[in-house]
């Protein structure tokens, strides 16, 4: 108990609080600007942390991280361009709501869901970190393979419009992720002999091209129509009754996010898609999903912000960073002489608890700072469309090139932008492209690692462990359910059509 | 608390001072993303180093393709006196033999080696294996699996060399970094891993041997590979500073002196202590010879294990 | 018949199929271990693209008659080309120089044509953001000169 009180004292120093405010606010802005995301935000602030003490520097970085994951939703809702890949799923319902003039409500739900997800995952982190970490260790390659298979199956149905077109885009994203060095043998794939391609295609430039640049092109080709004006954004928090009605959605999204975030090799973008897929199957208002239903925003935003808390579970409990962002945080801790690992909880309990407290304060700060941040975006988007689009092009370029410092990534972003425009005009959904790129590598490397471990015996995957068997059974049930439901629906539709045809004889 | 204020003031000031001193501007390329293990050492190295040189410097992260993209950027800047690279072992001494790259070990002006940590062969503490001999015996019925932080990395090479030179039966499973590999070791998906002291200390692991020519301080009961009856295998994770070819001898000498002073500075020593990086300075000529030697040795390992293309 | 074929939706589907097929050929030439998953992925791609192509052809055929709205030539390809050229040029010219004309062109095409807003917008959005990131925040963007000033 003394340790916890001391930890609270560590977190409530004025410099830590100031760092939280600055970090969170900057994070929201950076996350909201298309092209710039969590990685760029942390890269900007990392050098400033060298002169600070541990808690202050972590407060700054955690603020930037959580803020940027939330901030991505603002532009996703306002202009259909996710500020970060993590918020790609927020566009599904956020932008339709904006088009219907319900932008205030959409922003309110996104903000509240982010806060809810963030806090719930903090609570989980505080009480269940060791247990969750132990559980995550049991997730070996084969279990991860089963989980990703299940996730991908659920997600197949996510795309609005044609299933075939969604699938082909998913395969394209999967293919993008395979360019460059093969993760198992190290051989170059699809580089066509050019050295520049051997580093592969990074997710950020592709997302920048597929969403930000293609949005500029789309708005350009329809710049005379009314749809191009960006509505004034205000923030209206949902009332208590509304929250009560959708509480189960909030809790489900947060739990999915917390769980996915604790596993190694996944991340917030994957969590948001998985959570959205779950809402599509389980929400009582699922028929409206994709047409401007707050449940969709809740599913995406509560889960991606829940990842911010639970991503620290493997990092703090095992010293295993789950993604690039937590790896950067781990680096910042090492600089201050704290090496995350199995003994961190025992040796440095006070610091660890102080970090938990900081995480909670950051989420509160996010809620408070959402209003001024959205105000800033409202002001920015009031500028003539040309300036907004010029800014988006510029930020896209900066974001694409600064992730890895490789000018080739700019060309990738530009080409993806043109490709994405053509695809959008042809009625292809772009979200599966991102999903394929996010989940593809996890699927491929876990499959091939699993084959190495089982010495080439794929059948033994099914009996590898209790977790794996359970997941594969779930996959089987899901497949049966989908096929039966599909057949039933098709029959019902055919029946009504026949009825309609017989009732109305053809007159022409 | 002062530090935060200073940092914020610095945020405002950096722009102006930077523009004023722009002519003497040194770029330090780190071939990994910001926040990685090499990046942290480079960023602690940078302030003292640039102070010694009397220039303003910027760390630029150019990540990708097992650190070769950033390294190639240094090699391609021939004659540029304002760029250096803070390089990991793999990009200089392994990757050139693995694939076709726009550089080789001869493409650089070598400045210094900064840190070097010997690697250990280790198993999980939860396993009942306590010696290398026992490990070899138990591997006869069913081969073990060893992890690595990726194909063609030092942990991979060290284990590949061990397997080639001993009766140990083990197969390789690559992961996307030391972290995920540790996760797999904790879950008993793999049984063996070769890595440095940092990894050994942070996870519950048991060292069985050290890949060095003498026993390591603090691990006096851990035998070297040679003592176990194998040919001497020397694998360590090191980092060093290189400049492009074609810079003046005078500039190279400046770099070398600045590097030596930085590595010997208290600030860097304190950091290295905290981050468990073992300072192991080598001057320009020694470093060049060292890289050449490691390059040849690694190439031999890759050929023996059938990993070259 | 030809008119059906050159409809953009059909062309997109056709292009997807050709690209998938081309990549599949590469994938079947590579080593078994590394190309296992790509082969599966690209096969699904090709099958899907073929199905889409057939679907588009069936859907397009009866609709052939609908007269195309006479549309003025849009300068969109110009904007796309400008983005691509600027992206390619960055590797050799640094970040600032290709980006300034790109921003200016974007503003112009989005109807910001009075000289003062155009020039100011270009300088603030193009030059200002570049300065902020390159010099103030020290996030190094590609540079033209070896000392990194521009």
C118 and C82 in one domain? yes
Of the two residues B193 and B187, the one the predictor is more confident about is B193
Total count of domains within chain C: 2
Nearest Cα residue in chain A from C119? A387
pLDDT over 90, % of chain A: 23
Which residues on chain C are in Cβ contact (under 8 Å) with B60? 140
Among chain B, residues having any CB pair with chain C shorter than 8 Å are 11, 14-15, 18-19, 22-25, 27, 58, 60, 77, 80-83
pLDDT of residue C65: 47
Residue range B116-132: mean pLDDT, rounded: 89
**pLDDT tens column, A127-149:** 887 777 777 777 888 888 888 88
In a domain, residue A474? The reply is no
Q: Which tokens belong to B169?
A: 């039966």
Total count of domains within chain A: 1
C23 and C55 in one domain? yes
Do C138 and B14 lie within an 8 Å CB cutoff? yes
What's the pLDDT band for C5 if we cut at 50, 70, 90?
low
Report CA A429 to chain centroid distance, whole Å. Answer: 17
In a domain, residue A491? The reply is no
Per-residue pLDDT at C3 exceeds 70 = no
DSSP result, chain C: -HHHHTSHHHHHHHHHHHHHHHHHHHHHHS-HHHHHHHHHHHHHHHHHHHHHHHHHHHHHTGGGGSPPP--PPPSHHHHHHHHHHHHHHHHHH-SHHHHHHHHHHHHHHTT--SHHHHHHHIIIIIIIHHHIIIIIS--PPP-SSTTS--
Nearest Cα residue in chain B from C142? B60
Q: Which domain holds residue A260?
A: 2-464
In a domain, residue C23? The reply is yes
CATH 3.40.190.10 in chain B, residues?
A: 117-228
Of the two residues B1 and A278, the one the predictor is more confident about is A278
pLDDT of residue C70: 45
Do C138 and B19 lie within an 8 Å CB cutoff? no
- The answer to whether residues A299 and A276 touch, using CB atoms and an 8 Å cutoff, is yes
Establish how many alpha carbons lie within 13 A of residue C46's alpha carbon, considering only the half-sphere containing its beta carbon.
14
Bridge partners of B236, per DSSP, are: B118
Phi and psi at residue A180, to the nearest 5°: 105, -160
C7 and C54 in one domain? yes
Which residues on chain A are in Cβ contact (under 8 Å) with C51? 164
pLDDT of residue B15: 42
CA distance linking residue B299 with residue B96, whole number of Å: 9
pLDDT of residue C71: 52
pLDDT of residue A317: 74
Residue range A223-239: mean pLDDT, rounded: 70
pLDDT of residue A190: 87
CA distance linking residue C94 with residue C134, whole number of Å: 11
Closest CA–CA distance from residue B300 to any residue of chain A (Å): 18
Closest CA–CA distance from residue C83 to any residue of chain A (Å): 6
Give the closest residue to B85 by CA, choosing from B201, B265, B266, B240. B240
Residue range B100-113: mean pLDDT, rounded: 88
Which residues on chain C are in Cβ contact (under 8 Å) with B22? 147-149
Which residue do the tokens 């407060």 mark? A59
In a domain, residue A490? The reply is no
CA distance linking residue B196 with residue B238, whole number of Å: 10
pLDDT of residue B62: 83
pLDDT of residue B85: 92
Residue A371 contacts by C-beta under 8 Å, 6 or more apart in sequence?
A235
Q: Which domain holds residue C31?
A: 2-65
C49 and C102 in one domain? no
In a domain, residue C128? The reply is yes
Which run of H or of E encompasses A180?
strand A180-181
Q: Which chains touch A (3 or more CB pairs under 8 A)?
A: B, C
Which residue do the tokens 């926040």 mark? B35
pLDDT of residue B14: 43
In a domain, residue A502? The reply is no
Which CATH code is given to the segment(s) B2-116+237-304?
3.40.190.150
Residue range A326-345: mean pLDDT, rounded: 75
pLDDT of residue A184: 85
C85 and C52 in one domain? no
Per-residue pLDDT at B10 exceeds 80 = no
Superfamily for the B117-228 domain? Periplasmic binding protein-like II (3.40.190.10)
Pairing of strands B108-124, B205-210: antiparallel
CATH 3.40.190.150 in chain B, residues?
A: 2-116+237-304
Do C135 and B60 lie within an 8 Å CB cutoff? no
Which residues on chain A are in Cβ contact (under 8 Å) with C122? 390
**pLDDT tens column, A256-272:** 998 888 776 667 888 88
Which residues on chain A are in Cβ contact (under 8 Å) with B10? 48
Residue range B50-67: mean pLDDT, rounded: 83
Query: End of a domain among C65, C86, C108?
Result: C65
Closest CA–CA distance from residue B55 to any residue of chain C (Å): 11
Of the two residues A236 and A264, the one the predictor is more confident about is A236
């Amino acid at each position: 108990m003394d340790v916890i009180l001391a930890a609270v004292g560590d977190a409530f120093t004025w410099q830590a609080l100031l760092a939280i405010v600055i970090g969170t606010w900057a994070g929201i802005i950076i996350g909201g600007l298309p092209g710039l995301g969590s990685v760029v935000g942390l890269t900007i602030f990392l050098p400033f942390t060298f002169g600070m003490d541990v808690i202050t520097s972590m407060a700054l970085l955690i603020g930037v991280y959580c803020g940027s994951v939330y901030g991505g939703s603002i532009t996703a809702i306002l202009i259909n361009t996710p500020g970060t890949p993590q918020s790609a799923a927020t566009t599904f319902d956020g932008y339709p709501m904006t088009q219907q003039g319900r932008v205030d409500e959409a922003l309110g739900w996104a903000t509240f869901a982010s806060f809810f997800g963030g806090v719930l995952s903090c609570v989980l982190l505080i009480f269940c970190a060791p247990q969750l970490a132990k559980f995550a260790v049991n997730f070996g390659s084969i279990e991860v393979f089963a989980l990703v298979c299940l996730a991908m199956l659920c997600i197949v149905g996510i795309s609005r419009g044609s299933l075939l077109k969604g699938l082909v885009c998913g395969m394209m994203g999967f293919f993008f992720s395979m360019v460059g060095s093969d993760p198992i043998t190290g051989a170059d794939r699809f580089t066509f002999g050019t050295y520049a391609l051997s580093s592969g295609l990074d997710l950020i430039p592709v997302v920048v091209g597929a969403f930000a640049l293609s949005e500029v092109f789309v708005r350009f080709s329809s710049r005379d129509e009314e749809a191009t004006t960006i509505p004034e954004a205000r923030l209206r928090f949902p009332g208590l009754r509304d929250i009560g009605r959708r509480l189960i959605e909030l809790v489900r999204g947060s739990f999915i996010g917390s769980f996915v975030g604790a596993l190694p090799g996944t991340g917030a973008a994957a969590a948001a898609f998985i959570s959205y897929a779950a809402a599509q199957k389980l929400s009582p208002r699922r028929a409206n999903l994709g047409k401007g239903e707050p449940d969709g925003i809740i599913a995406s935003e509560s889960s991606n912000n829940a990842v911010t808390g639970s991503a620290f579970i493997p990092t703090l409990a095992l010293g295993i960073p789950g993604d690039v962002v937590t790896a950067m945080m781990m680096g910042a801790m090492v600089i201050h002489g704290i090496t995350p690992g199995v003994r961190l909880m025992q040796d440095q309990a006070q610091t660890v608890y102080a970090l938990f407290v900081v995480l909670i304060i950051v989420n509160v700060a996010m809620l408070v700072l959402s209003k001024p941040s959205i105000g800033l975006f409202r002001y920015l988007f009031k500028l003539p469309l040309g300036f907004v689009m010029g800014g988006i092009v510029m930020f896209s370029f900066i974001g694409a090139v600064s992730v890895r410092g490789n000018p080739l990534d700019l060309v990738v972003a530009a080409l993806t932008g043109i490709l994405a425009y053509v695809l959008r005009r042809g009625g292809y959904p772009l979200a599966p492209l991102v999903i394929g790129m996010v989940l593809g590598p996890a699927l491929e490397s876990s499959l091939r690692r699993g084959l190495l471990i089982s010495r080439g015996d794929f059948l033994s995957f099914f009996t590898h462990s209790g977790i794996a068997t359970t997941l594969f059974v779930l996959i089987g049930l899901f497949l049966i359910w989908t096929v039966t439901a599909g057949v039933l629906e098709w029959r019902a539709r055919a029946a009504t059509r026949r009825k309609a045809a017989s009732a109305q004889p053809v007159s022409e | 608390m002062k530090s935060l204020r200073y940092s914020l003031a610095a945020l405002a000031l950096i722009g102006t001072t930077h523009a004023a001193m722009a002519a003497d501007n040194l770029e330090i390329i780190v071939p990994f993303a910001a926040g990685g293990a090499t990046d942290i050492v480079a960023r602690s190295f940078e302030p003292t180093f640039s102070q010694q040189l009397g220039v303003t410097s910027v760390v630029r992260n150019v990540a990708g393709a097992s650190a070769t993209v950033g390294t190639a950027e240094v090699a391609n800047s021939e004659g540029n006196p304002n760029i250096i690279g803070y390089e990991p072992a793999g990009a200089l001494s392994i990757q050139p033999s693995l694939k076709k790259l726009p550089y080789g070990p001869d493409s650089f002006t070598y400045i210094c080696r900064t840190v070097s940590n010997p690697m250990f062969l280790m198993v999980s503490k939860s396993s009942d294996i306590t010696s290398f001999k026992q490990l070899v015996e138990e591997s006869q019925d069913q081969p073990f699996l060893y992890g690595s932080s990726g194909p063609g990395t030092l942990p991979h090479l060290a284990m590949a060399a061990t397997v080639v030179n001993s009766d140990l039966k083990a197969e390789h499973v690559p992961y996307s970094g030391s972290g995920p590999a540790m996760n797999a070791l904790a879950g008993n998906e793999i049984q063996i891993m070769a890595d440095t002291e940092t990894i050994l200390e942070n996870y519950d692991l048991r060292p069985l041997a050290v890949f060095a020519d003498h026993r390591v301080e603090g691990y006096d009961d851990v035998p070297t590979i040679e003592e176990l009856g194998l040919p001497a295998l020397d694998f360590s994770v090191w980092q060093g500073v290189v400049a492009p070819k074609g810079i003046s001898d005078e500039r190279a000498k400046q770099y070398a002196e600045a590097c030596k002073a930085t590595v010997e500075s208290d600030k860097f020593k304190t950091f290295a202590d905290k981050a468990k990086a073992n300072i192991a300075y080598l001057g320009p000529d020694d470093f060049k010879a060292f890289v050449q030697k490691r390059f040849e040795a690694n190439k031999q390992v890759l050929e023996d294990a059938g990993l070259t293309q | 018949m030809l008119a059906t074929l050159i409809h953009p939706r059909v062309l997109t589907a056709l292009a997807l199929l050709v690209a998938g097929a081309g990549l599949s050929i590469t994938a079947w030439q590579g080593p078994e271990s590394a190309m296992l998953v790509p082969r599966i992925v690209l096969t699904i791609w090709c099958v899907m693209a073929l199905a889409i192509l057939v679907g588009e052809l069936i859907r397009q055929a009866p609709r052939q008659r609908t007269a195309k709205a006479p549309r003025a030539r849009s300068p969109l390809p110009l904007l796309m080309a400008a983005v691509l050229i600027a992206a390619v040029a960055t590797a050799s010219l640094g970040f600032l120089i290709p980006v300034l004309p790109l921003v200016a062109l974007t503003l112009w095409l989005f109807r910001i044509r009075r000289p003062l807003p155009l020039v100011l917008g270009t300088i603030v959005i193009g030059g200002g953001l570049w300065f902020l990131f390159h010099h103030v925040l020290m996030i190094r963007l590609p540079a033209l000169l070896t000392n990194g000033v521009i």
